[in-house]
Every structure is written in C-alpha cells, then in structure tokens.
C-alpha cells in the first residue's frame, strides 16, 4: 500500500475526481486479474517503487498543474509520481476498455499498466487527469507485469512533449522516473530476454477515455453502462454540445470524427507514424495517445512502419493512417448504434471525417509547399509528383520541406541547380539521371505555381517555417538519449526535451539535432525497428 502523509506541497493540488464519482465502478476491492463487468473502472493502488529516481520532468506541464520547479525536484515528487505515495485527494483506479487490435475484436483490454491518480482542477479551472504508466499490475494486466521499461518510458515522455510543441493534439507527460526495479523483456520476441530498468511516466490529459471504452459495453450488450459513459463524456468533455439526447449524440460523434481527422492531418504533416492504431489507442478527444512502437519518417516512404509486430501486413504504415482512423471511427459508430438506432445518420456523421480530413490535408499540403491555397486537380498532381520523387530519391521528409523555404522560386532565379542541390543534400541515395530529370521538371512547374500564388519571398519562407519543423524526435536521437540514460546519464534526455520545445526555431547551436540519420542507425534496433515489447 502506498503511504499517505499530509505535509507536502503536492497535498495542495485541487482534486475533483469526477470520473469515479459519477460513473459505475467495479465493487471488487482486491487486485487480481479478471473480467470486469458493468464498470468503467476498478480501484487499484500503484505498486510502490523501490528506489525512485527522477530522469526528467516537463516544466510546461508542471506549470499547468501549478507545480514549481522546487516541488518537481523534491523527493516527495519522486515518491508520488513513481507510485510510492498517494497525495491528498488522489484516488487510484484503472480504466476498463476493450478494442480492435490489428483489425480483430480483442475483448477486454483495460489499463493493464496504467493507474489514474485522479483529476486536478488547476487555477484556470482546467481539468487534468493524472495517470501513471508502468506502476504495477491492475485487474486488467492479463498475463503481463504492469511495468514499463526505461526505453519505452523515455520514448513516450519525449515524444508526447515534442508533439505538443509541434502543435499536434496529444496527451502530455509530466515526468519520467526510474523505479529502481529491473524487469525482463524479450525486445523482439525472438528468444533473447534481457534485464532492463523499469520506469514510470506520469501522463496528463483532460480524459483518457478511448474508442474501446465504449466498445466494451456494446460488445457485452450492456447498453445501460454505454449510455452512462456517453452522457458523462458529453457533459464533461463536450459541454458546449448541450444536454445528451439523440441529436446531441450525433453531433458529438461528428465532433469526434472532426477531431480525429485534424489529428491525422497533423501526423501526416510532421511525418509521425503511430505504429499501433488499435481502437483502444484512439482517444475520444482526438489526442495522440499511447506512444509505443511509433516512429518518424526519415526517407519519405508511405509504406513505412516502425512496428516490427506489424511488418507483414503494414496495416499501420504512414500512408494508411487516414484510412485506419476512419475504420476505427466506423467501429465507434457501431458501438454507439444501440443508443442512436439510426444507421443512416451515423453514416452521414462519418462523412464529417472525410470532409475534415480532405480539406485539412489540402490546406496542410499547400502550406508545406508555401502556397496560400490548394488548387484541387493541379496541386494534387504537384504533390503526387513530389512525393513520388522523394520516395524514389529516399529524401528526408523533415529536412527537405524545411529547406524548401530557402529556395528561390521567382522567375528571375530560373535555375534548377539550387533545387537539385537541395534534393541531393537531403536524400539518402545519390540522385540518378532519371530522378534529376524528374526533379528539374517538377521544380519548373512548382516555380510557375508559386509565382502565380504571388507571395513575397520572405512571407513565403516564414509561413513555411511555421508548418515545416526543423526538429523532430528522430528515431536515432531518442535511442541515443536512451542509451545514455541506461548508463545513468540523463543529460541528453533533458537536452532533447529542451530542443524540441522550439521545433520551428532555427537554434543555431543545435544544428546537429537537425541532421540526416547516420548510416549506423539504419538497421539498429530502436532506431528503425521497434516492437510492442515495452
Ligand atoms: P498497448 O499495445 O500498449 O496499447 O497495450 C494493449 C493492452 O495491453 C493494454 O490493455 C495495456 O494496458 C496492456 N499492456 C501492455 N503492456 C503491459 C504490461 N507490461 N503489463 C500489463 N499490461 C500491459
Ligand atoms: Mg494501449
């Protein structure tokens, strides 16, 4: 049992634990693995950490919660956010949900290693659920140990903060703390188990409810609980929609479709591949959630997935994310059907996804290319030709778009040399004659199109630099930070966190973080290949 002592600054957080107060809970107080029916959560305490040690914390998240640097660097912070002590007002519980994994219904999943500590109301009356990931077993742990290794915890911590600063909707992370306990993991499920340090991340979001939170009730024909959760979610997270009713359910579902579409447009903009878009990993708020075997595109390749568990079907590859999000929304629509009973209306609501995605994608691609608007037809060809070129040349997506801002597209410049040099410098392979020819043709069309668009050079480049990041959490950078952290040196984790706070700024002294992937990283575990083992 975590202990309680009431004289730390963390005991002054203002908790208002609405989720467990208003929704049905599991009456079973003991912590053993089981099927949990007619309940949104089970009460369960974190397992105290043996020897907690702070790796890093996010100062913006801390500030949002009203926590000073002094509190975050205190021993008590480490104790509380490693799961060793419940501060005043915390009530710990794990959430029940199900989900489709890789296209198949998987039944009850639930928070197998996540434990919520409650909901904080900050000074501005914003509601934040605090959740420990990796703090021990819960009724939903099935056969696993409820823990998380340091490598995956650092990856989640850094990436969720990086995504936030890139302007991508996401859950946040307050802290990452070593527990002092070693765990066994077989990273690639290939008979090579190793001991690894374990850690706990404190994740922060207005809500951790997932598509699968609704699906589990419909799958069990428990429409009463389904209605409770839907009504609760609308009242708590979508209050602007009004009191729950059938039309409001439909409006709400439309809103979820729109938010999901906006999130995917952002993923495509920055080159993020989630890697495990199962319906249990889809937030009802349209936030990027559950950072596992995710990755960032280096050489542009729509078929790429970092997840070796998905290497065969590549269901969750970069170029398939928009379709999968839609498929997941269809599953959510099916789950909501018993409350709404109008298939046609749900079908119509789903078109909000396609409309938002298409319009968002077009505006996003125009912005990446420095154009003020997207001309359907013509610009579609422009984008398709470019992405084919980038794929053939193995061009680094982030570097290419960022540096495209500096290319002179005026009639006076009139030379493809600077463009060919850009393409060569940002590509992983030498350009063939054929590619150079294609590139020359593409650049001529692009220049004419940009001239017609009529932006001044300076205006064009500064607008592009606001949508094309210079710094992303390159897979190998995260791995370097992990390698050092495993040796007890957290400085690179902290430095990366700092650099990624300003992904659109030039940061003259941090150029090395905006470089092409080095050759050694191409085939290294953790850099280009990841699995669900974490
Ligand atoms: P994921 O693929 O990480 O989204 O996880 C799918 C399900 O497995 C969720 O219910 C997780 O809570 C659970 N899970 C993953 N890893 C562990 C672990 N080490 N211990 C317990 N449950 C886990
Ligand atoms: Mg998950």
Q: Are residues 34 and 177 in the same domain?
A: yes
Domain hosting residue 272, numbered range = 244-362
Q: Are residues 172 and 44 in the same domain?
A: yes
**What b/e sequence results for 486-500 when a residue is b if at least 16 CB atoms lie within 10 Å of its CB, and e otherwise?**
eeeebebbeebbebb
pLDDT digit string, tens, across residues 317-348 = 999 999 999 999 999 999 999 999 999 999 99
- Angle value at C-alpha 82, between 208 and 97, nearest 5 degrees: 25
pLDDT digit string, tens, across residues 101-119 = 999 999 999 999 999 999 9
Q: Are residues 68 and 17 in the same domain?
A: yes
357 within domain boundaries = yes
Listed residues 167, 193, 211: the one ending a domain? 211
Question: What does the pLDDT read at residue 247?
Answer: 98
Locate tokens 């850094």: which residue? 158
Q: Are residues 24 and 159 in the same domain?
A: yes
- Evaluate if residue 3 carries a pLDDT over 80: no
Question: What does the pLDDT read at residue 7?
Answer: 67
Cα distances (Å, whole numbers) of residue 192 to 57, 139, 185, 187? 32, 28, 8, 7
User: Which residue, judged by its Cα, is nearest atom 22 of ligand 1?
Assistant: 112
- Binned at pLDDT 50, 70 and 90, residue 34 comes out as very high
User: Which residue, judged by its Cα, is nearest atom 7 of ligand 1?
Assistant: 109
Q: Are residues 109 and 171 in the same domain?
A: yes
Question: What does the pLDDT read at residue 4?
Answer: 52
147 within domain boundaries = yes
Q: Are residues 188 and 45 in the same domain?
A: yes
Judged by phi (left if over 0) then psi (alpha if -120 to 50, else beta), residue 98 lies in beta
397 within domain boundaries = yes
User: Tokens for 133?
Assistant: 């990931």
| Alpha-carbon Rg for the chain in angstroms | 24
Cα distances (Å, whole numbers) of residue 93 to 21, 151, 289, 343, 532? 12, 25, 19, 35, 24
- Please report which helix (H) or strand (E) contains residue 434, including its range: helix 433-453
Q: Are residues 204 and 175 in the same domain?
A: yes
User: Tokens for 10?
Assistant: 């963390």
Residue 122 contacts by C-beta under 8 Å, 6 or more apart in sequence?
14, 64, 65, 66, 128
137 within domain boundaries = yes
Q: Are residues 98 and 25 in the same domain?
A: yes
pLDDT digit string, tens, across residues 399-441 = 999 999 999 999 998 789 999 999 999 999 999 999 999 999 9
Q: Where are the beta strands (DSSP E) in 125-268?
A: 127-133, 148-149, 172-185, 194-205
Q: What separation in Å is there between the alpha carbon of 534 and the centre of ligand 2?
A: 11
The Cα–Cα gap between 378 and 222 comes to: 50
Listed residues 362, 394, 411: the one ending a domain? 362
Which phi and psi angles does 237 have, rounded to 5°? Answer: -105, -15
- DSSP letter for 241, please: G
442 within domain boundaries = yes
Kindly name the residue from 111, 280, 301, 310 that is annotated as catalytic: 280
Q: Are residues 340 and 417 in the same domain?
A: no
pLDDT digit string, tens, across residues 278-307 = 999 999 999 999 999 999 999 999 999 999
| Rounded average pLDDT over 351-360 | 98
Listed residues 362, 391, 407: the one ending a domain? 362
Q: Are residues 341 and 420 in the same domain?
A: no
525 within domain boundaries = no
pLDDT digit string, tens, across residues 35-77 = 999 999 999 999 999 999 999 999 999 999 999 999 999 999 9
Ligand 1 site, residue 156, Cβ cutoff 6 A: no
Cα distances (Å, whole numbers) of residue 91 to 17, 85, 88, 234? 7, 11, 9, 23
pTM equals: 0.97
Q: Are residues 44 and 177 in the same domain?
A: yes
The Cα–Cα gap between 122 and 65 comes to: 6
467 within domain boundaries = no
- DSSP letter for 240, please: G
Q: Is 280 annotated as catalytic?
A: yes
**If 0-12 CB within 10 Å is exposed, 13-18 middle and 19+ buried, where does residue 32 land?**
exposed
Q: Tell me how long the chain is.
A: 534
| Three-class DSSP category at 81 | helix
User: Is 339:230 a contact under the CB 8 Å cutoff?
Assistant: yes
Count of domains for the chain: 3
Q: What is the mean pLDDT of the chain?
A: 97
pLDDT digit string, tens, across residues 160-182 = 999 999 999 999 999 999 999 99
Q: What separation in Å is there between the alpha carbon of 21 and the centre of ligand 2?
A: 24
User: Is 356:262 a contact under the CB 8 Å cutoff?
Assistant: yes
Ligand 1 site, residue 311, Cβ cutoff 6 A: no
User: Tokens for 187?
Assistant: 């990273």
235 within domain boundaries = no
Q: Are residues 43 and 146 in the same domain?
A: yes
| Three-class DSSP category at 256 | helix
User: Is 139:32 a contact under the CB 8 Å cutoff?
Assistant: yes
């Amino acid at each position: 049992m975590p202990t309680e002592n009431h004289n730390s600054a963390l005991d002054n957080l203002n908790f208002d634990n609405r989720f467990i107060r208003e929704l049905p809970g599991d009456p079973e107080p003991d912590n053993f693995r089981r099927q949990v029916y007619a309940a949104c959560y089970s009460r369960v305490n974190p397992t105290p950490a043996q020897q907690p040690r702070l790796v890093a914390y996010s100062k913006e998240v801390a500030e949002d919660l009203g926590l000073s640097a002094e509190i975050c660097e205190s021993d008590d912070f480490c104790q509380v956010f490693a799961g060793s002590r419940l501060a005043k007002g915390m009530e710990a519980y794990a959430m029940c949900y199900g989900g489709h994994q890789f296209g198949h219904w998987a039944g009850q999943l639930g928070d197998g290693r996540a434990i919520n500590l409650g909901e904080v109301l900050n000074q501005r009356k914003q509601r934040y659920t605090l959740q420990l990931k990796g703090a021990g077993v819960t009724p939903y742990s099935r056969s696993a140990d409820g823990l998380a290794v340091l490598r995956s915890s650092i990856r989640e911590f850094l990436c969720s903060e990086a995504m936030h600063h890139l302007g991508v909707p996401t859950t946040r992370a307050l802290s990452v703390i070593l527990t002092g306990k070693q765990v066994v993991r077989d990273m690639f499920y290939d008979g090579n188990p190793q001991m690894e340090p374990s850690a706990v991340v404190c994740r922060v979001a207005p809500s951790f409810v997932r598509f699968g939170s609704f699906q589990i009730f419909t799958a069990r024909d428990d429409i009463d609980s389904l209605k409770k959760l839907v009504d609760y979610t609308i009242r708590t997270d979508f209050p602007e929609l009004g009191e729950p009713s059938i039309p409001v359910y439909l409006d709400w579902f439309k809103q979820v479709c729109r938010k999901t579409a906006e999130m995917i447009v952002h993923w495509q903009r920055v080159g993020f591949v989630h890697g495990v878009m199962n319906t249990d990993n889809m937030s009802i708020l349209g936030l990027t959630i559950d950072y596992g075997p995710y990755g960032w595109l280096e050489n542009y390749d729509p078929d790429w997935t970092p997840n070796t568990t998905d290497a065969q079907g590549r269901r969750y590859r970069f170029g398939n994310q928009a379709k999968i999000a839609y498929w997941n929304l269809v599953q959510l629509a099916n789950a909501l059907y018993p409350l709404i009973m109008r298939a046609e209306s749900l079908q119509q609501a789903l078109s909000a996804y396609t409309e938002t995605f298409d319009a968002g994608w077009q505006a996003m691609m125009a912005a990446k290319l420095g154009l003020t608007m997207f001309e359907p037809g013509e610009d579609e060809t422009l984008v398709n030709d470019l992405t084919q070129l980038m794929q053939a040349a193995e061009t680094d997506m982030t570097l290419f778009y960022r540096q495209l801002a500096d290319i002179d597209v005026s009639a006076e410049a009139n030379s493809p040399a600077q463009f060919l040099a850009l393409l060569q410098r940002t590509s992983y392979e030498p350009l063939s004659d054929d590619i150079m020819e294609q590139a020359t043709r593409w650049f001529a069309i692009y220049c004419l199109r940009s001239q017609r668009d009529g932006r001044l050079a300076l205006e064009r480049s500064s607008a592009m630099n606001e949508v094309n990041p210079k710094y992303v959490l390159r897979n190998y950078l995260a791995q370097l930070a992990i390698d050092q952290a495993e040796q007890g040196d957290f400085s690179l984790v902290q430095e990366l966190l700092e650099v990624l706070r300003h992904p659109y700024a030039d940061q003259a002294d941090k150029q090395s973080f905006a470089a092409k992937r080095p050759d050694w990283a191409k085939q290294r575990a953790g850099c280009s290949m990841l699995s669900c083992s974490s």
